[in-house]
Chain A
Amino acid sequence: MTRAGGFILLAAALTLPLWLPNAYHLHVAIMAGIFAVLAMSLNLLLGYTGQLSLGHAAFFGIGAYTSALLTLKLEWSFWPALATAAALAGAAGFLIGRLALKLRGAYFVLVTISFAGVIALVSVNWIELTNGPLGLPGVPAPELGSWSLRTKTAYYYLVLASVGLSYLLCRRLVRSRIGRALVALRENEPLAESVGVDVTHYLVLATAVSAAMAGLGGVLYAHYTRFVSPEVFLFTYTVTMVIMVVAGGKGTLGGPLVGAVLFTVLPEALRAATSWQWQMLAYGVLLVLLVFFLPRGIVPRLSAVVAARRSEPAAPAPRA
């Protein structure tokens, strides 16, 4: 993305509540932001190390439950609960990374799915702690000093700050030797080892960071909807993240952001436009078209177009 384009987008995001004051629209924007954090988190694994986590909703749910429980039962304030929830999700990611040490591809996918299954069962059955399927209502809204971030506008800025922080974190990681080590694992693991990249160390690191970020997404979700139930572990959440990352462009910094916005806004727009059955059909057709025409995702395609435009003036125009 060009620098100017980036600034325009940033300015648009910062002023969004001014030109989109409608509560419903703000709600969509907040959900897009939460999913942007989740998609960026999944992209760190899927896009850079090439390993697919199909249990990502587990880290999302761990973040949501931890923060909800800490604020409800122990009456912690929001910020330390947020930090603890993200850290706990990160620790769970570390554990999965260690477990999956030598596992790649389909085996990594299986370990992450099983983990999510186990965690979901715990959330349903450990009734004393989680209140089972009834969930935990009344999760408090976050406060900043004497301010309550109860309003949609305030919450929008909290989510936006989280998106910005996550983006910055990903950008720094990806553009460092750590990012290169992650990509080396994706591209050619034996070669990476041969030049001294301790591949498993970096896979564990990536899983932990990714999980912590998904945990952050869970915290934002819990304190926004003010209610946590075992639904947060639904497989649909993971699938949505995967669609966002793949459609937006995996292994790019902007891809998950574009994917998150598109696939939060689109279902809402379709809902307004047509009946439920047509919605799902249109959604499916669009997905198939995207995969068919933009197999590498929207952002890589756009960058290729921009790069071609730029090099065009340099080439001499053909004469008739």
Chain B
Amino acid sequence: MLAVRDLAVRFGGVTALESVSFDVRVGSITSVIGPNGAGKTTAFNAITGYLRPSGGRVTYDGAALTGLRPSAIARRGVVRTFQKTSVFPALSVEDNVLTGLHLWSTAGFFAVLAGRRRLAAEERALAAEAVAIIDFVGLGPRRREVASALPYGEQRLVELAVALAARPRVLLLDEPGAGMTGSEKTVVSGLIRRIREQGVTVLLVEHDMRMVMGISDTVIVLNGGRVIAEGAPAAIQAHPEVIRAYLGAAAASA
């Protein structure tokens, strides 16, 4: 279980997160929603080591993640994607995913220099796995194309494939549907469901309410750096605090 306790992030005098606590159940799809500036991405950055929190801690299966480098957190099975499209632009889709498989290759410096035979076998296995992951996200025909040449929606899928290559146990997706067309969002929702079916816990930041309410088991609502509600999608949609946060006080009393 991924547990976030009293997480606080302050930038100078600005409090971006103020004592945020929540749990992400194993095998669940949990979404974090909230108006712009609520602290969603800040929470992601603090959990995955891209930002040192001013207070609080994050544990995964009881072990502390706070204070570790992002690469060390990834090694513990907690992998994130980025809100802004983030691929290795000059590399082919295949090489993007191969790079994502970094943790699953054992080749050390001296083994590489010696040109050990088992490394060639390992490279073949990795290449086969990369192909499988690329097929999974539906980019099979694009395998050899350069990532930066792909349309936006497909670049987001490359990003998802790179994250999956790290074989996460918890996958944090930062607005995977942002800027996508309706049909692309349906594809992504389907992929997220299938990823969960494979035993991966998913934590999601997303603005598209239809997508969030459609796939989440639990929804956490952030506003002004604090958790204002947490529960099943149906309960969240009826929650007066949530309605107030999104639509203002008048709508809640109407």
Contacts and interface: CB of A to CB of B under 8 A. Distances in A.
B95 A180 contact: yes
A199 interface: yes
A190 B74 contact: no
Contacts of A197: 71, 99, 102
Interface in A185-209: 187-188, 190-199, 205
Categorize the interface residue count of chain B.
35 or more
Interface string A262-293: 00000000000000000000000000000000
A190 B162 CA distance: 13
A199 B69 CA distance: 10
Interface string B148-163: 0000000000010011
Nearest to B147: A187
A191 B102 contact: no
Contacts of B95: 180, 183
Interface in A151-209: 169, 172-173, 176-178, 180-181, 183-184, 187-188, 190-199, 205
Chain A: interface secondary structure?
Answer: helix
B37 interface: no
Of the listed residues B87, B98, B113, the one surrounded by the most CB atoms of chain A closer than 10 A to its CB is B113
B70 A187 contact: no
A197 B100 CA distance: 9
Contacts of B216: none
A180 B95 CA distance: 8
B48 A191 contact: no
A79 to B, nearest CB: 19
Given A172-B115, A187-B90, A193 B102 contact: no
B195 interface: no
Interface string B119-140: 1000100000000000000000
Contact of B86 (A181, A190, A198, A199): A190
Given A178-B112, A188-B86, A198 B71 contact: yes
B80 interface: yes
Contacts of A198: 69, 71-72
A194 B163 contact: yes
A195 B105 contact: no
Contacts, number: 91
Interface residues of A, number: 23
Interface string B75-99: 1000111100011111100010011
Contacts of B88: 183-184, 187-188, 191-192
Contacts of A177: 102, 105, 107, 112
A51 to B, nearest CB: 16
Nearest to B76: A196
B166 A195 contact: yes
A206 to B, nearest CB: 11
Nearest to A179: B112
B235 interface: no
Contacts of B91: 183, 187
B103 interface: yes
Given A194-B74, A195-B103, 8 more contacts: A172-B115, A178-B107, A178-B112, A183-B95, A188-B89, A190-B70, A195-B100, A197-B99
16 contacts: A172-B115, A177-B107, A184-B88, A184-B102, A188-B87, A191-B82, A191-B88, A192-B71, A192-B102, A193-B69, A193-B71, A194-B74, A194-B79, A195-B99, A195-B103, A196-B71
Interface of B: 48, 50, 69-72, 74-75, 79-82, 86-91, 95, 98-100, 102-103, 105, 107, 109, 112-113, 115, 119, 123, 159, 162-163, 165-166
Interface of A: 169, 172-173, 176-178, 180-181, 183-184, 187-188, 190-199, 205
Which 10 pairs across A and B sit closest by C-beta, in order of nearness?
A: A196-B74, A187-B88, A193-B70, A196-B103, A195-B166, A177-B105, A176-B112, A198-B71, A195-B100, A191-B86
